[in-house]
Structure 1
């Protein structure tokens, strides 16, 4: 339905029970709990627009303009506007209705966000600049976000940008990349003298331009640039657990996962075939499955929960929580971070300290796969950690023995997509707050958020709600939980 179909030359406006606006007795606009319903009297046609898709509304000198994101295809939205002529006398009533429309359209999400957009022109297939300009920029502009765009010029550049950022000037840093830039941004914010305050204040978001795009799949549930941009516009500030990783004298922050064994090999050993996109992980898995499948190590875990049924119950209870206080709880978190602005101290020390006595020592001589997840989805269709939650203060650790048959390993791979992986008897799952892993061999791969780190002993511990993301839900990822 075009705007000309709905416009009338001599509008007469009235407001009925404050949710319906009638224009010239020809068009009515009604607000429901989740939709804007447009009814044209002459043709008796009805058109519904999801309130989630409404970007902005304004009264200019002669008309009411409603801007929204319309689905141009299943996986894309584009900016569309409706125009209705108005007269001076009608403007107060229309303005009251328009304000209610925007209140319902945004809920507790912040409007007109101030965004620092970082574009990695080299990552993935190298098309991030064009993807941003074509799909995301129009959405941000229509929602009247303030946007400051900068391209990263070299590896680690985003760390420097985040470390030097004026955190009072921006609400979020939006990365046009794969998961590499968010990793750098979290670490850049964390390196500041007021790292905890910066991580609480500035949200991190991702426009999917890489191979895995885990941050987007978990927080927005999409691999589409335009839909992700809409989700950022409507995104809720959500606390995110972050993991401290120590190796020798270094401490870095992880937001997504840490892996050792076949998953790390599939991720980091396939950099030369990034042109394949997400399929490179599958290819890497199959190639390595036919070769060596054991990566021996010493492993110790500070386990909080290791019974699958108990983990399922924990997940269900956490996901069912109310949106506790929303902005009030968020303000309390910001106030606490401002009062104690430095990064939290390491409760369990570093990998160089003596191993705590109450940690569970896990036999690792025949380790096939060690995978610790802070998010559920690692890349499209790989819901590897279905019981993972954004801010429960626990990481999910999967261990699989390297002596399982190739047939079982292949079945595991297919069961990730179907949802049966969690319950497979050969898949050991623990919820934990810390662990230490020491490789036995001298060469191999360790992956932190998809980034290669030295192949040596490392220790991890989780910090509840240390980081901030923009997400559709404050309590769960956009992924199916365990069955």
Structure 2
């Protein structure tokens, strides 16, 4: 059973000092171990010739002829057996991007159950901090995504990390497109802390929309964190919040992940309302994503190929656009980012739990079928090359397209580029995205917006991408809901990207 015991709030942390007055059972702690009532030393002698010491940011393993350290972040679990054996499991780094479970084990010369249990609890406190231990995870395997290797990757690279961390797992395979929507819509949200998607970005998109279809949508989106274990061709959710597109390293990041609010956006198109967590694109970005589906075997390189092919044609995508701007120039955007990034993340108890019957938020600005809000102006963009709105920074491992993104600032970052610029300028844009200098290019218009409407014109067919999924080629309206969703992140409030 997970160590976080919830009453009305899944974000309550038993180690939060503000909750110290509320008794909380601790399943991982021995009943005869007072823990907090002991003066627990940092060093545990585990034999005449060995000791385990809690350093500043790592566990120091000292033996007669060697000394090594294991970062607290990599510590997965520790336990003490009745025979005096202390076992510590951790994620061992085996390459620049991969980890695998490993363990160390020692038998105490002088077994002291109370001291050993208290020291282990102190170790786990250092290893997890405010992160929830033993998360209850609903794992969704998409056997059709990416290059079709998700099931194999899960069992070989991901499941062993979860098992070593003593997570509780419920694994299901998606059977068809939209199955993630059905699972999330019908699941018992009280049974899980996380839905972890072994997939590309398509299954997280389905999960959020499934949670959004529930009568208790607001509470479900607050309660259940959505995480990605990267097994697809588009792994933006993992890159932004796990800091990696490696399945094993992402599993470790989920184990240690901090619950983090994430803005979600309502998309209204025709008579439909859907939720978006990642991006919306019209123009070259939408085409290079959706028109390269047949090149999925290339991985993320298909996006670069798609860009270069379309650059040659110098295509424009005319549209009428209206936006509700919150920060209208790069200086204001930069200042907003730095101000918010400098603030500490919200603690778990600062986030208000929605009532049980709360559905999706009402739309402040209406839908695409309503009259344009009076304070919005519809402006023609006859030479539009790209319209791209993003909620998080990375769109692929080498494309930090939205460096000023903040996961829960109530805004989408909006990029517009003219389609009639010189080819060498377009190439410069591509290189700048990869080098992290995109924000400062003169021909790039970068704003933060809370809502917008876009209506393509003079085109009968084309591509519109919502979270990497193709939708009908017709006008749509977008409205941001601040902090509506929940993810797991390493920082608790920022993307794993270089900001502005």
Q: For this structure pair, what is the TM-score category when the shorter chain's length is used for normalisation? A: over 0.9
Q: Whole-Å Cα distance in 1 between the matches of residues 340 and 152 of structure 2?
A: 39
Question: What is aligned with 1:443?
Answer: 461
The residue that corresponds to 1:316 in the other structure is: 338
1:207 and 2:229 aligned: yes
Pick from 31, 34, 46 the counterpart of residue 54 of structure 2: 31
Contact 1:239/1:390 (CA < 8 Å) preserved in 2? Answer: yes
Partner of 1:21: 44
1:455 equivalenced with 2:480 (yes/no): no
User: Is the CA contact (8 Å cut-off) linking 1:318 and 1:475 kept in structure 2?
Assistant: no
Aligned positions of 1:341-380 closer than 5 A: 341-380=358-397
**8 Å CA contact retained: 1:257, 1:448:** yes
Structure 1 residue 317, shift from structure 2 partner: 1.1
The yes-or-no answer on 1:140 pairing with 2:192 is no
Within 5 Å, give how 1:328-477 maps onto structure 2: 328-330=349-351, 333=352, 335=353, 337-338=354-355, 341-440=358-457, 441-477=459-495
Match of 2:150 among 112, 128, 140: 128
Determine if contact 2:48/2:109 at 8 Å carries over to the other structure.
Answer: no
- Deviation, 1:466, is 0.3
Q: Equivalent residue of 1:265, what SS?
A: helix
> SS at 1:111's partner residue?
coil
Q: Which residue of 1 aligns with 2:285?
A: 263
1:163-197 alpha-carbon deviations (Å, 9 max, x no partner): 00000000010101100000000000000011111
Please report how far the alpha carbon of residue 419 of structure 1 lies from its aligned counterpart in structure 2 after TM superposition.
Answer: 1.4
Structure 2 regions of 5+ residues with no counterpart? 1-37
Distance 1:338 1:267, change over 3 A: same
Residues 334-360 of structure 1 show CA distances to partners (whole Å, capped at 9, x for unaligned) of: x2x125621100010000111112124
Contact 1:321 1:475 in 2 (8 A): no
Matched with 2:13 is none
Cα distance per residue 1:373-432 (max 9 Å; x no partner)? 001000111000000011011110000011111110011000001111101010001100
What SS is found at the alignment partner of 1:147?
Answer: strand
Equivalent of 2:136 in 90, 100, 114: 114
Deviating more after overlay: 16-25 vs 188-197: 16-25
State the 1:32 CA deviation. Answer: 2.1
Aligned to 1:52: 73
Query: CA RMSD for the aligned pairs?
Result: 1.3
Alpha-carbon spacing, 1:363–1:100, altered in 2? closer, same or farther (3 Å): same
- How far the C-alpha of 1:33 sits from its partner, in A, is 3.0
Following superposition, the deviation at residue 19 of structure 1 comes to 1.1
Equivalent pairs, count: 461
Post-superposition offset of 1:361 = 3.6
SS in 1 for 2:399: coil
Separation in structure 2 between the aligned mates of residue 445 and residue 328 of structure 1, nearest angstrom: 42
SS at 2:214 equivalent? coil
1-structure distance, mates of 2:435, 2:332: 22
CA shift, 1:74, in A, is 1.2
Q: Which residue of 1 aligns with 2:19?
A: none
- C-alpha spacing 1:296/1:375, structure 2 compared with 1 (3 Å): same
User: Which residue in the other structure is 1:11 paired with?
Assistant: none
Structure 1 distance, partners of 2:482, 2:229, is 25
**Structure 1 runs of 4+ with >3 Å offset:** 360-363
> Shift in Å at residue 61 of structure 1?
2.8
1:34–1:51 CA contact under 8 A, matched in 2 = yes
In structure 1, what is the Cα distance between the partners aligned to 2:205 and 2:439? 27
SS in 1 for 2:355: helix
